[in-house]
Structure formats: C-alpha cells, structure tokens
Amino acid sequence: MPVSTARPRAKTETDTVPAEHSLGLATRLRRNRKSDWSRRLVRENTLTVDDLIWPIFVMDGAGRREPIPSMPGVERLSVDEAVRASAEAARLGIPALALFPYTDPDLRDPEGSEALNDGNLVCQALRAIKTEVPDIGLITDVALDPYTSHGHDGLLENGRILNDETVAVLVRQAVVQAEAGADVIAPSDMMDGRIGAIREGLDAAGFEDVQIMSYAAKYASAFYGPFRDAIGTAKTLSGDKRTYQMDPANGLEALREAALDIEEGADMLMVKPGLPYLDIVFRLKDTFGLPTYAYQVSGEYAMIEGAIRNGWVDGERIVVESLMAFKRAGADGILTYFAPRVAKRLAGL
Ligand code: PBG
C-alpha cells in the first residue's frame, strides 16, 4: 500500500462513530436536506411576489397617514397616499391591492347608503389609482359594514339581517365599484345568492370581464378585531355576525358554500381567516381546483407583528414561514398586510 505523504485529515464526527452503530438504512430523508443547494432542489413550494395581495385602508383628506394601534406598522391612508402606496406596490411587482374604506361616522346610516355613492372613498381611490398606476389589479370589498351605523354587512330589521334585500343593495354596490374601475369584486358579506346576483348585475351593466373573488368560506371570527378598529366599526357593531358568517366548528359546510358560489359564477375563491383555517384552504383547492386565496387577517397580523416587536420570535423568518404555509396548503395567493415588506425581502431590498 503506497504510503501517503499528505497530512492526516482532521478528525470529523463520523470518524468517531463506530461503524457498527450504523442502522444500515437505505432510506434516509436527511440526505436531501444536507446542504442549501440540495434543499433548494427538492423544495416543493415557492413563495414569490406574484402570490401577494396587499389590503390597504383608505380615509378622507390629503397627505394623511394615520396609525392603527391594534395593527402596528399599518396605517390608514388618504387617497393621494394610497396612490403613492400603489405605485410602490407596482414597483415591487405586487399584482393587486384590496381596498377598504374608513368611512366618516357622519356618513354612516342604517342602510349603508354611502356604499352606493359613486364619489365614496373606495370609488375615489379606484379612479385615482387607475389613472396613476394603471397596471396594478384592484380588488374591492362588497359588503355594507364600512357604511352602516350598526356595523353589520347587511340591512338590519328587528335584529335580523335581511338576506334578499341586502343582496339587491350589494349588486348596486358592485356595479358602482366596477364603474369606478374595480377589476375584481370581492363580496365578503356572506348573504346567500349574492354571487349569482352580482354576476348578473355586472353583466347587465356591461362588466362581463370584471372578476368575482368570492369570500366563499368566511367564518364568524375573533381574528377580525383589529380590522374593525381600522375601519371604525369595532365600537358601533351591535351584536355579532354569527347569523351570516360561518361557524368556526364547520368544515363540510365550507364545501357547500364554495360549490354554490362556483355554480353562481365565482372566478376565484377565498378562505378567511387564514392560518387557523388552512384545512379549509386545502379542502377547497383539492375539491374544486379553482384559483383559491387565503386572507391572513388583521388578528393574525397583530399576533405575529406583536410577537416580532417584543422580540419573542424571529421576524425575518416567521412571516415568510407563515405565507409558505398557505402555499403548501394549496393557496394560489395570500391577502396579507405583510405584502410590501415581504415583496421587498423577496427582491433582496
Ligand atoms: C367585512 C370584512 C371584514 C374583514 C374583511 N371584510 C370584517 C368582518 O367581517 O367583520 C376582515 C379583514 C381582517 O380582519 O383583516 N365585510
């Protein structure tokens, strides 16, 4: 045997493990995880900027940004500031924004009539953003809660939310938004039959190409708390929304909701809240195969951001991990208040 003149190599961990301790396993799942290049090669899901939808809050005035205490890092924006934010989002490659208004309390009434005013905040923002940032997708919420004095998504009569009467108003709200430039109508009200009625109303008004993203499975959730602060309904909401939003205990019912919405013409489905309802995301995508989105809602944002700000979790990693979970469950995209931050990070900025 030739005598090596090389210096003996440094002892490694394997030198110290006697061979007889090997389990003789043919399959070792850790092999593929041994280095970064290998982990990247075997990765099943990816998160890109194309997966992000950024919800923003619009308010009256000019040059105004107002912090939302229960959503640290998120602000309400006046329309001109919303235009600026949209331009930034477009520059980062974020495909679409979802708009929500903080309506002046004086403009709220029991019928939510401000929802039908084509000069309301959402319509102002739609027109301004469409003019200045024409290539970004604009998604609008159809529901009456930002406009009603009682904070409910529909018309209230003797303590009941009226279904069919509400749907008639929602159809008009959707058409008003489409006229102002909405690309995607996202009904979040959970009235029965609203997708079909809105589709018909949009088509009759000549908006065959306006898409509908149905909040197909929207649960009566405590995770919406900070959002209600953001749009100013937290204090005014009388009672709760359990007669129209879904019971968190139900899963099969989400399949029935989605099946109806698809039959009525929904182009895309949404599940809300997000992380606590990943099983629903998976089941809807698995069953129907439609473009399916998840809304990482305000309470989820507040929990994650609160822990980050306290230094309790690694903020660099936890946000991307939470969004990757949606991709793994089958979501085609995520509505998330982290969108601009993540887009910057993905771009290496
Ligand atoms: C209401 C609406 C809600 C959200 C979006 N649209 C709240 C509710 O149903 O009370 C919640 C979003 C969030 O919590 O981030 N139409």
- The pLDDT tens digits for 116-134 are 999 999 999 999 999 999 9
pLDDT of residue 15: 57
With the CA atoms of 141, 146, 147 and 153 taken in that order, what torsion angle do they form, in degrees rounded to the nearest 10? 70
The predicted model gives 317-340 an average pLDDT of 98
pLDDT grade for 101, boundaries at 50, 70 and 90: very high
Nearest to 166 by CA among 143, 184, 185: 143
Query: Are the beta carbons of 266 and 291 closer than 8 angstroms?
Result: no
Catalytic center residues: 218, 272
Q: How far is the CA of 172 from the centre of ligand 1 (A)?
A: 20
Give the whole-angstrom CA distance, residue 220 versus residue 40.
39
- The string of pLDDT tens digits covering residues 144-193 is 999 999 999 999 999 999 999 999 999 999 999 999 999 999 999 999 99
**Prediction pTM value:** 0.93
Query: Are the beta carbons of 126 and 185 closer than 8 angstroms?
Result: no
Q: How far is the CA of 224 from the centre of ligand 1 (A)?
A: 6
For the cut 90, the answer to whether the pLDDT of residue 2 exceeds it is: no
Dig out the tokens for 68 from the structure: 């939302």
pLDDT of residue 236: 83
Residue nearest to atom 7 of ligand 1 (CA): 224
Of 227, 237, 240, 293, best ligand 1 pocket probe by most atoms within 8 Å of the beta carbon: 227
Q: Does domain 46-266 have CATH number 3.20.20.70?
A: yes
pLDDT of residue 9: 57
The Cα angle at residue 205 between residues 204 and 211, in degrees rounded to 5: 90
Paired strand residues for 96: 53, 137
- What three-state secondary structure class fits 52? strand
For the cut 90, the answer to whether the pLDDT of residue 3 exceeds it is: no
Ordered by start, the domain boundaries in the chain are: 46-266
> Which residues fall within 8 angstroms of residue 24, CB to CB, at 6 or more apart?
none
Indicate if ligand 1 lies below 6 Å from the C-beta of 224. Answer: yes
218 or 7, greater pLDDT: 218
Residue nearest to atom 12 of ligand 1 (CA): 297
Parallel, antiparallel or unpaired: strands 160-162 and 155-157 = antiparallel
Indicate if ligand 1 lies below 6 Å from the C-beta of 166. Answer: no
For the cut 90, the answer to whether the pLDDT of residue 234 exceeds it is: no
Dig out the tokens for 101 from the structure: 């208004």
Residue nearest to atom 8 of ligand 1 (CA): 224
pLDDT of residue 14: 56
Residue nearest to atom 2 of ligand 1 (CA): 188
* Residue 30 DSSP one-character state: T
Containing 160, the helix (H) or strand (E) segment is strand 160-162
Q: Which residue has the tokens 């989820």?
A: 300
Which ligand 1 atom sits closest to the C-alpha of 218? 9
pLDDT of residue 1: 47
pLDDT of residue 266: 98
